[in-house]
Amino acid sequence: MGHIRTVVISSSAVAKQVLKNQDLAFSSRTIPDALHSHNHYQFSVVFLPVTTRWRSLRKILNSNIFSGNRLDEYQHLRSQKIQDFIAYCRQCSQTGKAVNIGQAAFETSMNLLSSDIFSKDVVDPYANSGKEFKDAMWKIMEEAGKPNLADYFPVLKWIDPQGMRRCIGKHFEGLIDELL
Sequence-separated (6 or more) residues with CB below 8 Å from residue 78: 112
Q: What is the mean pLDDT of residues 28-37?
A: 82
Q: Which helix (H) or strand (E) holds 109?
A: helix 101-118
The CA–CA distances, whole Å, from 124 to 82, 120, 171, 178 equal 14, 11, 22, 13
Q: What is the pTM of this model?
A: 0.64
Q: What is the mean pLDDT of residues 13-27?
A: 79
* DSSP assignment letter at 145: H
- 8 Å CB contact between 32 and 144: yes
pLDDT higher than 70, residue 180? no
Residues 35-60: tens digit of each pLDDT: 888 887 888 888 888 888 888 988 88
Q: Any idea what the Cα angle at residue 107 is, between residues 103 and 112, rounded to 5°?
A: 150
Q: DSSP letters along 64-84, please?
A: HTSSHHHHHHTHHHHHHHHHH
> Angle of helix 131-145 relative to helix 164-179, nearest 10 degrees?
160
Domain layout of the chain by residue ranges: 12-179
Sequence-separated (6 or more) residues with CB below 8 Å from residue 57: 45, 48
pLDDT higher than 60, residue 22? yes
Residues 115-160: tens digit of each pLDDT: 877 788 878 877 877 777 778 888 888 888 899 999 888 889 889 9
Return the amino acid letter for 135: D
C-alpha closest to that of 108 among 119, 93, 92, 124: 124
Residues 65-101: tens digit of each pLDDT: 788 888 888 889 889 999 999 999 999 999 999 998 8
* Backbone angles phi and psi of 67, in degrees to 5: -70, 155
For CA atoms 61, 57, 148, 179, the dihedral sign is positive
Residue 173 CA to its chain's centroid (Å):
16
Confidence band (pLDDT; 50, 70, 90) for 2? Answer: low
- 8 Å CB contact between 81 and 111: yes
